[in-house]
């Protein structure tokens, strides 16, 4: 199914390397989000973007960077400064407008493993 796609599904990297996770959406949503999902910790917000060319830090932004050059795309870079990068990463998007009825739509996720 389409909507939001994330690639790759699995990603391996060596310590000290930066890696970029892709997130694309064709829902014409203004807002996009990156979460990290760890067992027993739920989802934690890394970065979010409410509009093109603008983004804000979430609760656990250290060691991560993002860009939002196009409405459809919100790539996440996991840098070597991230102390514990092995995790499952989820991207989401949401329409702007009437807030109360907006829901976030999630991608299938990328599992990153640092070797």
Residues near other proteins (CB under 8 A): 31, 33, 35, 40-45, 48, 50, 56, 58, 90, 94, 99-109
94 versus 114: smaller Cβ distance to other proteins: 94
Token representation of residue 36: 């990290």
Q: How far is the CB of 16 from other proteins (least distance, A)?
A: 30
Cβ contact 45:55 at 8 Å: no
In the three-class reduction of DSSP (H, G, I as helix; E, B as strand; rest coil), residue 43 is classed as strand
84 versus 100: smaller Cβ distance to other proteins: 100
17 versus 56: smaller Cβ distance to other proteins: 56
Question: E strands within 1-115?
Answer: 4-7, 10-13, 19-25, 31-38, 42-51, 54-57, 64-66, 76-78, 87-94, 105-106, 110-114
In the three-class reduction of DSSP (H, G, I as helix; E, B as strand; rest coil), residue 5 is classed as strand
75 versus 109: smaller Cβ distance to other proteins: 109
Q: How far is the CB of 95 from other proteins (least distance, A)?
A: 11
Q: How far is the CB of 107 from other proteins (least distance, A)?
A: 7
């Amino acid at each position: 199914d389409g909507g939001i796609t994330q690639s790759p599904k699995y990603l391996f990297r060596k310590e000290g390397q930066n890696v970029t996770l892709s997130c694309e959406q064709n829902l014409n949503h203004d807002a996009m989000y990156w979460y990290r999902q760890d067992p027993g910790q739920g989802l934690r917000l890394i970065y979010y973007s409410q509009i093109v060319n603008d983004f804000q830090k979430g609760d656990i932004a250290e060691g991560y960077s993002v860009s939002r050059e196009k409405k459809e795309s919100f790539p996440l870079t996991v840098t070597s400064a991230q102390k514990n990068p092995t995790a499952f990463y989820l991207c989401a998007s949401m329409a702007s407008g009437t807030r109360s009825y907006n829901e976030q739509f999630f991608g299938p996720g990328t599992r990153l493993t640092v070797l």
